[in-house]
Amino acid sequence: MGKIESEKSTVTYMIGLYCRKKHKQNSLCLKCEELKAYALQRLGTCSYGEQKPACKVCKTHCYKATMRERIRQVMRFSGPRMIYYYPLDYVRHWLKKSPL
């Protein structure tokens, strides 16, 4: 699996977890579905391609300000909980963003 596909998978898990816990939905609500579609579209058109850095440290902010704030909220909530729900993805994500 390439880096972009891995990022898409991670963001999908994070948004799903956020919506399940915060909005008490079994499937994504409309706002979370919109955010997921936006995030996947932006990942698909990332100018860095497979050399893409983590969005948090990227020099090019490709999200609109409102969407960037929404995804930031999702990541703040879901990031720490990923270890319980998606441990392998959590470890991959952590290793990718830590400077080794």
pTM given for the model: 0.87
Domains in the chain: boundaries: 3-97
Tokens of 65: 């300000």
Provide the pLDDT for residue 98: 54
The reported pLDDT for the residue numbered 96 is 67
User: In whole angstroms, what is the distance from residue 13 CA to residue 85 CA?
Assistant: 9
The residue among 80, 79, 69 whose CA lies nearest residue 38 is 69
Contact 4, 52 (CB under 8 A): yes
Tens of pLDDT, residue by residue over 66-95, are 999 999 999 999 989 989 998 987 787 777
Q: What is the pLDDT of residue 99?
A: 53
Residue 62 has pLDDT above 90, yes or no: no
Q: Band the pLDDT of 57: cuts 50, 70, 90.
A: confident
The residue whose two tokens read 């997921």 is 36
